[in-house]
Chains A and B, each alone.
Chain A
Amino acid sequence: MRHVAPAWWWVAAAVGATVLPWHMQQAGLGLGDLRAFAAADPDAASAAAQAVLHGRFWFWPVLAALAVGAVGSLPPGLARPRRGALLFAGGVLGLLAVAAQGFAVGIAGWTTPRLASLFGPLDDRQFGIGLGGCVAVLGFLFQATDGLALRGAFKGDRFTAGAVGLLAFSILVFTVWPMATILAEAFAGRGDLGPLAAFAERAADRKVWGMECVSSGRSCGVAWNSLALAIATATLATLLGLCFALIVTRTGFRAKRALRLLTVLPIITPPFVIGLGLILIFGRAGVVNQIVEAVTGSQLGRWIYGFQGVWLAQVFSFTPTAFLVLIGVVEGVSPTMEEAAHTLRASRLRTFLTVSLPLMRPGIANAWLVVFVESLADFGNPIVLGGSFGVLSTEIFFAVVGAQADFGRAAMLALVLLAFALAAFFLQRAVLGRRSYVAVAGKGDGGLATPLPRGIARAAFAVAIPWAILTIVVYAMALAGAFVKVWGRDWTPTLDHFRRAFDVTPTADGGFILSGLAWNSLGTTVTLAAIAAPVTAALGILASWILSRQRFAGRFALEFALMLTFAVPGTVIGVSYILTYNVPPLEITGTGVILVACFVFRNMPVGVRSGMAAMSQLDRSLDEASATLRASTTRTLARVILPLLKPAILTALVYSFVRAMTTVSAVIFLVSAQHEMATVFIINRVINGDYGVSIAYSAALIVLMVAAIGVIHLAVGRRRLGRRAAAPAPLVPAGGRV
């Protein structure tokens, strides 16, 4: 029988609390600073030292929790359940103690007057949690989950318990807490207004809910703008996507493969590229405007800036997403059903209208909702093309970066956006039932897909083909802009923009400096994306394994919380993160950590979905066989599950890398001078009208990401594993996110 060694996590907690410096060190950490049990500066000392030597009494509960854990960890020969109970109690107490001290004492002493009146005045303060704190928290967390496992929870499996604990804890820290902060901020009192009054005032803002556009020519509130835009975009994009999907799956069209390539576009395209392309075509200096002016002498004006422009850009951006979702839907209609209808003497058209279309209806509704949410959350297109037409996501941004930096207003707007997104999310679940998440297994009962009725095929071609050509034109224009001096005025071909962005200057001593404007942000972006990708993939695969393989109380709640997390729009995440993490106890605003955390939690669905899809192809008895063959859970994962999941892991890795590079909505709030991201750099240039460098940079990004995608397709394609090979995961997860 294997030995239980639950003491290690207690040791980790103890080291974190007694040896390592508890708080984050502004100057960074040297090796010597790690032995902080007797540092002279309280802020560089360990928790134990702060309590004993510097009178920071609020650390005593943490130490007390350690003592409880010690009783459970150290004596040998303690009965399993007893040991488990003590470890669990110690761990939970430790977590609570850390949270309590962190929230009670901030950079200005007690955080609320209540505490001051309770414990007396305090002329001390503390900064955010650092290395010691983090190690201690993880130690306590895993000590608690070990305790649960010892008491028989999770079938007695410590690894599963720990993994579930880690997931739940990270959801708590990186989703629940920020959302709670937003809520609190929306209720924060202002001036002499109490919480409710302040909330009511913010909620009733005419700029948000105003209906002036109905009666007069003035613009409506941004909430209505967002809704109207999202509905318009979703409807058109779904219609177009359906045409594409029908053509690809139900006609003999020659260029099917080329059409399918469209589905890759939204992944590799930074979200404002379409907007840029449209400006270069329809903007004041755009090609169309110039031609019209040259021919007729009349000015087309700025019509592209506003609702129409954003709508057009979003439809271009999201049609491929709808297309991708709908391919699965159309393919999911069993040909047998249609054949049955034929044998019952229904014509092709009648079959399509009475059998195929109704069977697709939930899928179509799902595609609509996916695009609806993407449009709501979209930030890149409205910021580039919106002009005076504001939507929630841009309005949130301006509330934060604007002159008055009104966080209460930003929080309120974020809540509205969140409410819309969650409503769509719940609708989606209702529409799809449990299938929303698990890949529908391809249990074909044979039969050939019926070709489309001729009239419908004609209509589909008439709509889809011009649109596909237009998309190509927009992309071509967007890229062409990188190669001319000044679009619209000076058409001289040039590589100047690339030079400005990616210049390399040789130095006298034979070395070189990366003197281009883009290098700094590109380096940061690639580095952070490369750090985030493995973490994202690991957590995502772990989550998918837990959700598809483990049964435990609260599994449903965990899955639900995870899915909910993915439904939160990027802008909301961005605002909530700066609100939450710019003060202790977790003060990571301005660091790379906050960006990595943001990437990880925004991109995890890729990992979860591809993992779940692959896992559903692996028979559960494989895990169980491994377990009965005395393999530990970690060994089962390492030797059986992960090797069989390789394609899914690869997919998750590269896509989280790529998406980390293209996202803009959340990170625009989180970047700092030190950590500038490529997309944010570009969007700032676009806002300033500096298109040349922006386009050159975007083009470089796209090439980089096409290369990355090419790499996985090569790698995944080569991986063929007998009959049980895991199916390649879908390229884009079918859930709203930008």
Chain B
Amino acid sequence: MTLQRRSGAEVRLEGIGKRYGAVTAVKPLDLVIEGGTLVTLLGPSGCGKTTLLRMIAGLELPSEGRIFIGGRDVSRLPAGERDVSLVFQSYALFPHMTVGENVAYGLVSSGMARRAAAERAAGALESVGLAGLGERLPSELSGGQQQRVAVARALVLEPAVLLFDEPLSNLDARLRRRMRDEIRELQQRLGVTVVYVTHDQSEALAVSDRIVVMRNAEIAQAGAPDDLYERPVDVFVAGFMGEANVLPARVAAIAGGEASVAIGPLELHLPYRGLAVGPASVAVRPEAVRIGPPGTGLAGMVARATYMGAVMEYTIDTALGAVFVVSGEVGRTHAAGESVGLTLAGRGVVLVRP
């Protein structure tokens, strides 16, 4: 018997905030997480991701605001009564119980008979690819296997919402990649709602339906991965969602939702994003910069060229400052000291609030 597909519940936060004495860990915020989607909370260390997650789990009570899961107000319910499961960063497997007992633990807690729980647990272990390891102790498993046990233990309860707090940060890079794909695959197969905390933007981009970027205890921007990557609202989000060159620019005119923007000698038409005529900033993704012969576009000189295998990375000094460029043309490289001219592709360049 393996796990059944069901539709996950919607999570709605209304004015949720948390203070610890004088410290504000999370400023009051609203957030809706649609049922059956995977949403990541992304942000630098200490921005309140874990706190927000733990409030959803019921491990912290919010200082203010209300939490609804599947339309039910759970703000003051203890963790066990919320129909959520949490996968801990440290996995928190009980060291004195076997893997099977660990996975069956929640089922027995909810009143299922031991034998039935053990069967279900075996099924859950099978669906995370650990069939037959039920008799081992957690300390007899590898890190990746422990992680999967933790996931199985959470999933076997068929919770409406599954929460992950940096579940992959204890794993090496290769395993991390595989596990994140497995988590995503499992989430889509089972249709469960997942809230996923990470501070690795590539992980967030890879697995999410939606990303919520947090900064200083509040939401900086929320949206689909491509939204955040290509249309960040400000310099912080742009920088956090991957490498970005922030260049000074001027909005020359605004017409029909388009702004004509001057970036040094370059002229671009970009979607107008609520900015007025006058000085502004643009965020330019490294891969949006084209390197051409000197005399075209923005003049610059190659300061450093790095061979990365699949791509070349350049740092190019210009009048607007150093520009970081990633170029797919590995065959035709530019040496350090070479004079070049830079132009911008339309995609990957956005106006941001400075």
Contact = CB atoms under 8 A, between A and B. Distances in A.
Q: Do A and B interact?
A: yes
Interface of A: 1-2, 80, 152, 155-157, 619, 621-622, 624-632, 635, 639-640, 643-644, 721-724
A149 to B, nearest CB: 9
Nearest to B20: A551
Given A625-B153, A628-B86, 5 more contacts: A1-B81, A156-B61, A624-B57, A629-B105, A629-B106
A155 B82 CA distance: 13
Nearest to B76: A152
A631 B105 contact: yes
Contacts of B94: 622, 625-626, 639-640
A627 B95 contact: no
B78 A631 contact: no
Counting from the closest, the 9 A-B pairs by CB-CB distance are A629-B106, A625-B92, A621-B92, A631-B109, A152-B76, A630-B80, A627-B79, A630-B109, A156-B78
A628 B58 contact: yes
B80 A2 contact: yes
Interface string B101-130: 000011001100000000000000000000
Given A635-B109, A722-B139, A723-B139, A627 B92 contact: no
Contacts, number: 88
A547 B232 CA distance: 45
Of the listed residues B85, B88, B93, the one surrounded by the most CB atoms of chain A closer than 10 A to its CB is B88
Judged by DSSP, the binding face of B is loop
A628 B105 contact: no
B96 interface: yes
A619 B94 CA distance: 10
B95 A723 contact: yes
Contacts of B78: 155-157, 627
Interface string B290-301: 000000000000
Contacts of A631: 80, 105-106, 109
B139 A632 contact: no
A629 B157 contact: yes
Interface of B: 57-59, 61, 76-81, 84-86, 88-90, 92-96, 105-106, 109-110, 137, 139, 153-154, 157
Contact of A156 (B76, B85, B109, B110): B76
A721 B96 contact: yes
Contacts of A721: 95-96
Contacts of A624: 57, 59, 79, 86, 88, 92
A191 to B, nearest CB: 53
A629 B96 contact: no
Contacts of B96: 643-644, 721-722
B110 A630 contact: yes
Tell which of B84, B86, B109, B153 has the most Cβ of chain A within 10 Å.
B109
Contacts of A639: 94, 105
19 contacts: A2-B81, A155-B58, A155-B61, A619-B90, A619-B92, A622-B92, A624-B92, A625-B88, A625-B94, A628-B57, A629-B85, A629-B153, A639-B105, A640-B94, A721-B96, A722-B95, A722-B139, A723-B139, A724-B95
A213 B69 CA distance: 77
Contacts of A724: 95
B339 to A, nearest CB: 51
Contacts of B92: 619, 621-622, 624-625
Most chain-A Cβ atoms within 10 A of its Cβ — which of B59, B80, B93? Answer: B80
Contacts of A626: 94, 105, 109
A157 B80 CA distance: 10
A274 to B, nearest CB: 43
Nearest to B105: A629
A628 B81 contact: no
A630 B88 contact: no
Contacts of B105: 626, 629, 631, 639
Nearest to B110: A630
Given A643-B96, A723-B95, A630 B58 contact: no
Nearest to A151: B76
Contacts of A643: 96
Contacts of A632: 80, 109
